[in-house]
Homo-oligomer: A and B are copies of this chain.
Amino acid sequence: MKKGQVTIRDIAIKLKISVSTVSRALRNSPEIKLETRQKVMAMAEELNYTPNVVAQSLRVNRTKTLGIVVPQLASHFFASNISGIQDTAYRRGYNVMICQSNENFEQEKSDIRTLISTRVDGLLISLSRETESYEHLQNLIEREIPFVLFDRITEGFPVSTVTVDDTLGAYKVTKHLLEQGCKRIAFISGPEGMYICKKRIAGYEQALNESGVNIDGNLIVYSDLTEESNKRLTNQLLGLEEKPDAIFAINDPVAIDVMKFLKSKGMKIPEDIALVGFTNMPVSDALEPSLSTVDQPAYEMGRLAANNLLDQLLDPESFEPQNLVLDTELVIRNSSKK
């Protein structure tokens, strides 16, 4: 920071005491006389002293900073995750440093590298849609840097994870659609490798199987989550010989693209085709028709992930990785009411 920063040394000199006494007084050490402590505090105030966290961090080998890696910031879901993490971290005396991978694998690796060299005490990571190899996570394990994965996770690492019950969520959607009389339910998934996609497809298939509806591979398509891709795949589905009577989109943003496309083709939702998303964005109920979706407790996910990591940091010995799975809630609106 700028020139002339006030240090504990300045306070010590002014008060003609030692720096260690100042240091202790500032941290409310019980071994310091009340009077001395008050004098130190007063002088610190007077000089507008701000502790140098950098020096503290170097000394105690702990930055009290958490690193966050998310695929993107401009997404209500991840922004809420981050809010949950941040509020929790602050309450427990930690800062956070946020990086976004922009859904790019190389960027994700680079983000983690940056965060490590910044010496964050631990990491909270949500993987990019491109991520299909995991040496960078293995590397964290080897370096004994604590981290937890949330939402966009992978399995097989001895770390905590926080997710929603994607399978059950997708199951509930599909069941609901079947109950509305839909016979040919299409699923627009994200990239095939993504954990949440696999899980949601599993729930979708489970519901179909239970109802004796056979699974048609043509009805399952994989989007790279761009608007172009979403619209193209919707078009592709509409071109099927046996057209779908419902579309289940992997998330609300995809559902919105689908909705725009369907409207542009003059199709009526839900009459001609039902539509359901996943996530429950704040605008989803303002759409026309209002979008049925699955509500995910994003803030809560962040909160849990942060608390878990912080517990681990506090007491590494007795820590055991946990796989936290949160419930989702099916939100039925007009886009799926036949």
Contacts and interface: CB of A to CB of B under 8 A. Distances in A.
B119 A100 contact: no
A287 B113 CA distance: 41
**Interface residue range, chain A:** 35 or more
A117 B53 CA distance: 6
A287 B283 CA distance: 9
Interface of A is mostly: mixed
A137 interface: no
A116 interface: yes
B79 A145 contact: no
A321 B259 CA distance: 46
A57 interface: yes
Interface string A49-61: 0111111011001
Contacts of A253: 282
Interface in A122-166: 143-145
Contact of A2 (B3, B53, B145): B145
A58 B50 contact: no
Contacts of A260: 285-286
Contacts of A86: 73, 99-100
Contact of A51 (B48, B50, B117, B143): B117
A168 interface: no
Contacts of A114: 95
B1 A116 contact: yes
A314 interface: no
A118 interface: yes
A63 interface: yes
Interface of A: 1-3, 48, 50-55, 57-58, 61, 63, 65, 72-76, 79-80, 82-83, 86, 95-100, 113-114, 116-119, 121, 143-145, 253, 256, 259-260, 281-283, 285-288
